[in-house]
Amino acid sequence: MLVIRPITAADFAALKQIAIESGHGFTSLPVHDGRLSQKIEHAEKSFNAVVTTPGDQGYLFVLEDTDSGEIVGTTGIEAAVGLQTPLYHFQQNTVIHHSAELNVMNQLTTLTLCNDYTGASEICTLFLRESYRRNHAGRFLSKVRFLFMAEHPQRFASKVIAEMRGAADKDGQPPFWNWLQKLFLTIDFPKADQLIGVGKKAFIAELMPRHPIYVGLLPESAQAVIGQVHENTKPALRMLEKEGFSHRGYIDLFDAGPTVEAPLNQIKSVAASKKVPVKIAADTTSAQGEHTLAVANTAIKDFRASFSKAARFDEAANILIISPELAAVLQLSNGEMARFIYLDKA
């Protein structure tokens, strides 16, 4: 069985291995011992903190295979981005140049450096090892964050964002990066990626263009990928779009991938989740349901979530019937509350 739980210091080696496997462009998990240890420590403090409004908290979860004890994935939420370190984007805008005398009107797209998402919550750091990318595991890793947010809304902002990885060429380099590197930054992409990953973002404000950039002046290769996602990220984007996320014109500074957003209370899995008492069945067979459910307890530092068909919702009785095995993994007893969603419904 796969179970989500808060990360602990004992997971450092596994988190570092995931950081290595994730590769360049996954800036939220740099291959940097100090930064990874800091993220784990920050997450532990966040899960233990008493919170009434979102602030500088970061909730990092790991996905554990209970049979082997192996950590096979991560997923995370930042409660309020940009409060300690600015979060920059390019915003796409349209400007109109009009000459009445010549009867000419041109609509031109510009990119402007901004930090408009300051204070928003961000879902991030989702990675699943390739051998486990099956049987709803990836979908669960994404949606489990919404179960946690639905249960503890006071910890999060009313707006939720997700930065999607941008398009890359056959060598893994983002075409959008080339013009930035040539004109403004003069460092290579892995170096910039590494600096951002360890929290050194001052160079963005110091070196990035301060005035709006006319997109039509960029190389065609850069123009073509604005707002486009990496091939491997397309399934994640489609999933978020089904949750109600949309692109409002904000893109990543370096790979031009889109940032999507949604109001927290309008995210489909948040709105559709149900919080009900549990009843532990005598055996797995009597708890067997038609659908796969993602089920979570209502704790914070002892949060647990898993997915299984050994759980079914009795609508008439308004209870969730779960198997003894699932109850043990989720640390739930008879009568305690759980929150769930249907994982296999569109």
Active-site residues, by number, are 230
Q: Three-class SS string for 129-189?
A: CHHHCCCCHHHHHHHHHHHHHHHCHHHCCCEEEEECCECCCCCCCCCCHHHHHHHHHCCCH
Q: Any idea how long the chain is?
A: 346
Q: Three-class SS string for 209-225?
A: CCCCEEHHHCCHHHHHC
Phi, psi of 119 (to 5 degrees): 95, -10
Tracing tokens 């249960």 back to the chain, one arrives at 151
71 and 132 in contact (C-beta within 8 Å)?
Answer: no
84 and 124 in contact (C-beta within 8 Å)?
Answer: no
Helix pair angle (137-151, 234-243), 10° resolution: 40
Instruction: Report how far residue 227's alpha carbon sits from residue 246's, in angstroms, rounded to the nearest whole number.
Output: 12
Helices (H), the chain: 12-22, 33-48, 137-151, 177-180, 189-197, 202-207, 220-224, 234-243, 268-272, 284-287, 324-330
